[in-house]
Amino acid sequence: MLNQDIIREATRLTRAGQLVQATALLQRMLRGESAADAPSRTGSHIALTGREPLIIDAKANPVEETDSHPQSKQANSAQPRVFRALLDSQKGRSGIGLRGVIKRAPLSTPDIVPEGARFIESTYSSPAGSRAYRLFIPSRYQERPLPLVVMLHGCTQSPDDFAAGTRMNFVAEEQNCFVVYPAQPRQANQAKCWNWFRTADQQRGRGEPSLIAGITRQIMDEYLVDRKRVYVGGLSAGAAAAAIMGATYDDLYAAIGMHSGLACGVATDLPSALVAMRQGGSDHKVISGDRTPVPTIVFHGDRDTTVHPNNGDQILEQSVRMISTQKKVHRGQVPGGHAYTRTILSDGSGRGMLEHWNIHGAGHAWSGGSPAGSYTDPRGPDATREMLRFFLEHSLPEE
């Protein structure tokens, strides 16, 4: 059975609620094994040559419909569970599963927010749905416009967890910036992943992009925000969502940051998402069309077994194709930590348009993060500090 046939069959099985069979079939394909024992359209089982499928908790439960995408509810409810199951299967191999490796003590306020600053909770609602969020307000906010950073967490994470792991609030306190952390609820995705792989959540004015943009604009209306210096970043599924935000709202965000994520357009459904995660996407479209891409900083570990490092390379290639660039490569080493290769692409005027940090020996974890949060690698380099530095070097052009 050819790969395309396997993907079509896996999609059919997913929509039929046969999640174990669908995921097993995709895993066989991604391992490069023969699919001769693929299930027939009338069968309800799959021969696994003695192997059990790597599935954890693969029952389909309903999820909230937040858009009018023509997929069946059964297909949408199946997606998060299968998606999470494949990610869970990486846990034993990489040491970093998206459910966490160890049980952590409850987060304390000093792990999340520096003394004197505020970290408040609020909600945004629109016809597309509603999302809670946490907003960091630095202690030196004195009613003058400040930059705003939108941070999109990874699967299974929460705003508090993501803030603790990245320590973005502490660097933002130094730089005097707002930071907002939208929260993806389980009702929208069982694993709390942003649904970057669904077509309806890749479009301006619809689905999750409209909710994230709505949160951004609500804060811009309620606080004094420098409207030329608004940015969006994320980890893993959050990084993929950040890429979508940069492509669909390039009039709102001056730069984007992606850690262990995927480029725009590499997936439009569950099967293509799984393939892109395991081996990188192919023939991906650029959602922003022919417009110059938003300045982007990318971090990716070259031993990431959850989202293939090829995905970071594809973001670099996407920018090279669309802008006339000058290229510089720097190599460095964190004392006692990871070596890295930093590639900088600049436009004709010398402005840095893309930074790609290839972190040697790192897996699927926030580089330089704090162990107080999940999916962090303290051995650096410091992705938080470098991401915010890159952000603040950019602003939207004057109209």
96 neighbors 364 (Cβ within 8 angstroms): yes
Is the pLDDT at 103 greater than 80, yes or no? no
Is the pLDDT at 225 greater than 60, yes or no? yes
**Same-domain check for residues 152 and 209:** yes
The domain boundary residue, chosen from 89, 111, 137: 89
The domain boundary residue, chosen from 89, 111, 141: 89
**Same-domain check for residues 229 and 350:** yes
Give the pTM. Answer: 0.78
Residue 102: pLDDT band by 50, 70, 90 thresholds? very low
Q: Whose structure tokens read 């027939």?
A: 40
Average pLDDT, the chain: 79
**Same-domain check for residues 163 and 78:** no
**Same-domain check for residues 200 and 304:** yes
Q: Is residue 108 part of a domain?
A: no
Distance CA 112, CA 165 (A): 8
Angle at 390 between CA 385 and CA 396, to 5 degrees: 140
Here the CATH number for the domain that contains residue 254 is 3.40.50.1820
Q: Say whether 358 sits in a helix, a strand or coil.
A: strand
Q: Whose structure tokens read 């792991």?
A: 165
**Same-domain check for residues 57 and 129:** no
Q: Which residue range(s) make up the domain with 58? A: 3-89
Q: Say whether 315 sits in a helix, a strand or coil.
A: helix
Q: Is residue 352 part of a domain?
A: yes
Q: Which residue has the higher pLDDT, 357 or 24?
A: 357
Distance CA 201, CA 210 (A): 9
**Same-domain check for residues 35 and 140:** no
The domain tally of the chain equals: 2
Mean pLDDT along residues 274-301: 76
**Same-domain check for residues 56 and 142:** no
Q: Is residue 213 part of a domain?
A: yes
pLDDT in tens, 141-175: 987 999 999 999 999 999 999 999 999 999 999 99
Mean pLDDT along residues 203-229: 97
Is the pLDDT at 216 greater than 60, yes or no? yes
- Provide the token pair at 274: 């799984």
**Same-domain check for residues 79 and 159:** no
* Alpha helices, H only, the chain: 3-15, 19-30, 73-89, 91-94, 109-112, 159-166, 168-175, 207-222, 237-248, 270-279, 310-322, 383-392
Residue 338: pLDDT band by 50, 70, 90 thresholds? very high
**Same-domain check for residues 129 and 83:** no
- Provide the token pair at 272: 């293509």
**Same-domain check for residues 130 and 21:** no
DSSP state letters, 173-189:
HHHT-EEEEE---TTT-
Residue 120's pLDDT is 97
**Ramachandran area for residue 2 (φ above 0: left; ψ -120 to 50: alpha; else beta):** beta
Q: Is residue 105 part of a domain?
A: no
The domain boundary residue, chosen from 40, 74, 89: 89
**Same-domain check for residues 179 and 280:** yes
Q: Is residue 104 part of a domain?
A: no
**Same-domain check for residues 67 and 170:** no
Q: Is residue 399 part of a domain?
A: no
302 neighbors 358 (Cβ within 8 angstroms): yes
Angle at 349 between CA 293 and CA 332, to 5 degrees: 75
Residue 318's pLDDT is 66
pLDDT in tens, 349-397: 888 899 999 999 999 999 999 999 999 999 999 999 999 999 999 999 8
Q: Is residue 106 part of a domain?
A: no
Q: Over pLDDT 70: what percentage of the chain?
A: 68
Peptide bond into 62 cis (omega under 30): no
Give the least confident one: 61-65, 159-163, 298-302.
61-65
Phi (first) and psi of residue 371, to 5 degrees: -65, -5
Q: Is residue 101 part of a domain?
A: no
215 neighbors 124 (Cβ within 8 angstroms): yes
Residue 143's pLDDT is 79
Distance CA 282, CA 314 (A): 9
